[in-house]
Structure 1
């Protein structure tokens, strides 16, 4: 199976790399170019252009890294124990739990598309704030939920936020650090995926074994998500401050020229 997957990935990636090329300098889609010229749309600029080494030295990198680590840990934790958790907490049948796991895959993938589209309108900082508000609410409601449909719905919401975090991460990093070395920066940020894949399942297993219940798991992750929520608010305020300073600097430059 791994040989087949490896060969398939190699062929598809080789074909993709053979025709994908960076656009010409200052290139814009025709429709966007017309909207900008008419004043209908404003061209969004990155906060700065940093190399990967420069980005890693900023507090914003580690704020985004911490947010992503917690979001990933919560999502992978939920994926890893969704079936036994649903059976244990709300008495879902084995077949029902298996169906839930299958539907989780749809919400994981759908969250990547839906939340990515939403972020183009709401902005990446706002979408991450929404992720954490949803998850705090879900993790606090799950221990009190006895209805199987509501329990499954809350789990699916958490999984959609997990998937949405991945689709928004490179765009958010591009907004913060520019696209000059976004591939390397995104790679550094994705260390949260491997770390979260270890931390999430290990934490839930340790809590389950020590308490013989999944209920404390929800409260522990609600507390972790609350920390991520606080960081997301801090990062959002910092971004607004930087944008305000840049706008003020541009206004001052124009005043001097005129």
Structure 2
């Protein structure tokens, strides 16, 4: 049966809108604390646990995409994320913290990982001529999800109650994700062949890819980009209030604007990478990070602070959307889903490292400036790696160099 690639891309966007709702967790934090005996830190740990399992499960879910097809992993994602969300309602109703961690953190996190990797490598194969645009479209949905879910969840909590909201949202995720997953299919053999022809160089297996220096350069670059970005996401409002004397109301408005840049940044940077090339795009991303972190450190102007944060959040989103196409350029399309899954383990590590590092340094020093210094140093290192991998790719094809 002939399939329309734009329908498949739309199905991927909808799937990512569902799983991206994890970024709306902060909307639930206070109501959960009021409805249970749990501490604020205990509740926030559920989010970190979900992100950790997202990144770790993506490694093996990427292999399942290649073996069984994206419609299968998308179905698994719908079952796991829907069930995990509904179990969160049960956990709140019974005041069982362990069930929150199991339901939202572990089961929900597994669903997140499966849902995240399901459309990306598949859509790239449908758009071999526009890889950056393809991944940008899919992953943009993940970036915008919190802006959609947040207000809806807030309204539902006020009208039907907290636990019922989780039951309702879980049911919607369950049905919608399973439904759209059936539309996400691999290209037929002819389309697959065209995709492979347009890929540069040899086609690596996932096991071959992880034995190259280039894979680990990309892994560390993604880890640094996410560590810095998710650290900012976790503390954007208090950081703005402390460093620029911004009011809480203005800071909350700024957080909403950041969501736009996080979402649109995924599409714009990824599309731009089709013209600049992935190596140059990553170099520019880390250069922007370095300049903006340095500017925030030295300048206290509120307007420039907002501008810098917006650019930093666009770069944070860019890392997610550019990396799949970069992997396709370097390692080919043969097992891109599995390779993408492996590199997303960097997200699992960074999802814990970023917020914990920033919170710890702020607690110890009473200031966000030490965190900025760490982020500046990390950006310099990542910039160096982006130049190093460019040199390696320019001088020779990726070699199977065991690291």
RMSD of aligned alpha carbons: 2.1
Deviation (angstroms), 1:15? 2.8
Distance in 1 (CA, whole Å) between partners of 2:334 and 2:177 is 22
Equivalent position of 1:8 in the other structure: 172
Q: Hey, what does 2:181 align to over in structure 1?
A: 17
Partner of 1:250: none
**Relative to 1, partners in 2 of residues 1:149 and 1:140: Cα closer, same or farther, differing over 3 Å?**
same
Deviation at 1:191, TM superposition (A): 1.2
How many Å apart are 1:181 and its aligned residue? 1.2
Give a deviation string over 1:47-73, Cα, whole Å, max 9, x none.
Answer: 321111111111111110000000000
The yes-or-no answer on 1:167 pairing with 2:331 is no
Structure 1 segments, 4+ long, off by >2 Å, are: 1-28, 43-48, 242-245
Displacement of 1:169 in angstroms is 1.1
Q: Could you tell me how far 1:129 is from its partner in structure 2?
A: 0.4
Shift of 1:244: 11
Task: Point out the more displaced range, 231-240 or 206-215.
Answer: 206-215
Any unmatched runs of 5+ in structure 1? 34-42, 246-258
Matched-pair contact (CA < 8 Å) for 2:290–2:379: yes
Q: Distance in 2 between matches of 1:94 and 1:145?
A: 20
Q: Which residue of 2 aligns with 1:130?
A: 284
Query: How many residue pairs get matched?
Result: 232
1:238 maps to 2:402: no
Higher relative contact order (CA 8 A, sep 6+): 1
Distance 2:269 2:214 in 1: 21
Q: Flag the structure with larger Rg.
A: 1
Alignment of 1:1-258 (within 5 A): 1-25=165-189, 27=191, 44-242=198-396
> Residue 165 of structure 1: SS of its match in structure 2?
helix
Residues 47 and 242, structure 1, Cα contact 8 Å, conserved in 2: no
Stretches of structure 2 lacking an aligned partner (at least 5 in a row): 1-164
Question: CA separation of 1:5/1:212 partners in 2, compared to 1, >3 Å: closer, same or farther?
Answer: same
- The verdict on how the C-alpha distance between 1:124 and 1:3 changes in structure 2, with shifts beyond 3 A counting, is farther
Post-superposition Cα deviations, 1:107-153, rounded to whole Å, max 9, x if no partner, equal 10010011011001001111110010000001111112121010111
Q: Distance in 1 between matches of 2:279 and 2:190?
A: 26
What TM-score do the two structures reach when normalised by structure 1? 0.84
